[in-house]
Structure 1
């Protein structure tokens, strides 16, 4: 009798798990979305886009613009709890190029400047670096930001230390 119950349990398990992909289709879930786990998908350059990596033309490697770039936020007032959609700028070290990572743009925008102190430009975009960073499209300010130097603070919470 115990063998019969055991075989019945195995049969039920095998039948209920035989087609998880079909169950996903019936639930209205795309099979591709089941496979999209952070760090599993790669773009055409080998960057894990689901983990926030994008190909940088300037650095010639995959980067996370929110870690390696300068955050540029919309110049509108931000209320607590509102989502902020930022752009990011990566500047060429000792050079005259900047790379923009803009929301809703699949690839980055490479900008150039004529000399130090002049704005980076590309078509209708201008990145001004005077007193912080201002990104303009035509005459409109689209994003603004500042270079932030984050430092690691070490120590204890004890005020006597």
Structure 2
């Protein structure tokens, strides 16, 4: 079990990097240079919602980099609008601007192309569903391992 487990960890990380490269290539193809791949993925995940930076973090819409920095850059480059919450002046809510919505639509078109290509390559809905179920089980396992009471510990005694 050790080798398949370790291979899964490496594959997940490698797949993530490959996807970010695909996204960067799409941005380059579109001539978009004022947003990076990580920021565009955060933007895509925000979608039609309005949320705080804390909510972005809690929902996992960031990928190992500083969310506040990425939000600041997206606001500076016109992809996000922001406003202070009327209920809590310390809290800033962000949403996609028209420019952000336009980019999100372009990324959606890319995803549609991917879906068509996946079908042509012989991927089935069932295969992807099964892969997602396995990844969710790993996610639950790793989440439980953060809570020592939910992780089976062995005794050295």
TM-score relative to the length of structure 1 = 0.23
Q: Which has the higher strand share?
A: 1
| Larger relative contact order, structure 1 or 2 (CA cutoff 8 Å, min sep 6) | 2
Going by fraction, where is helix more abundant, 1 or 2? Answer: 2
Structure-2-length-normalised TM-score: 0.23
